[in-house]
Amino acid sequence: MITLDTKLNAALNTQVANWSLLYTKLHRYHWYVTGPHFFTLHEKFEELYNEAAEVVDEMAERLLTIGGKPVASLKEYLEVATLQENLQEQSAQKMVESLIGDYQQLRAELKEIIHLADDENEPAIEDYAVGLINAVDKHIWMLNAYLG
């Protein structure tokens, strides 16, 4: 079992915060997307925010399982997250570009979690991070394909 002051605990909490922020950002995009691709993106953003909610729950429960304490308030999310809120109105293209950047950042941080989990002998976390990278890679590919 890891201790609460490990790098892995902090990295997992960063992911809880990031995916929580991403959930909110995706919800915002879902509500505010306009233009000729509204129906496609409206549905895709909903799919992605549902996935983000599942990731938050899984990550937080894993933290609790190993003796950690997940961040659990909006204030904590904003303090811990490495992703940035985006409160400005944007075109559909800018929304997608922003999400690609977010998913690329998540991917890099998940790769670090794999190394930390290996160092702390937490194979379940390592496997979970690998699975998330696979999903994130697909999102990056699909969002880039949307942009053409």
For residue 135, being part of any structural domain is answered with yes
For residue 117, being part of any structural domain is answered with yes
Q: What is the CATH number of the domain that holds 49?
A: 1.20.1260.10
Distance CA 120, CA 8 (A): 8
Res. 1: pLDDT tops 80: no
Res. 99: pLDDT tops 80: yes
Mean confidence (pLDDT) of the chain: 94
For residue 142, being part of any structural domain is answered with yes
Q: What is the mean pLDDT of residues 84-99?
A: 92
Number of domains in the chain: 1
Provide the domain limits for residue 128: 7-81+89-147
Give long-range contacts, CB 8 A cutoff, 24+ apart: 141-147.
143/96, 143/99, 143/100, 143/103, 144/100, 146/37, 146/40, 146/96, 147/93, 147/96, 147/97, 147/100
For residue 1, being part of any structural domain is answered with no
Q: What is the mean pLDDT of residues 107-128?
A: 95
For residue 2, being part of any structural domain is answered with no
pLDDT tier, 88 (very low <50, low <70, confident <90, very high otherwise): confident
For residue 38, being part of any structural domain is answered with yes
Give the Å distances, CA to CA, from 9 to 69, 108, 123, 129. 8, 17, 14, 14
Res. 32: pLDDT tops 60: yes
Res. 56: pLDDT tops 60: yes
Distance CA 137, CA 148 (A): 17
Q: What is the mean pLDDT of residues 79-108?
A: 95
36-48 pLDDT, tens digit per residue, is 999 999 999 999 9
pLDDT tier, 3 (very low <50, low <70, confident <90, very high otherwise): low
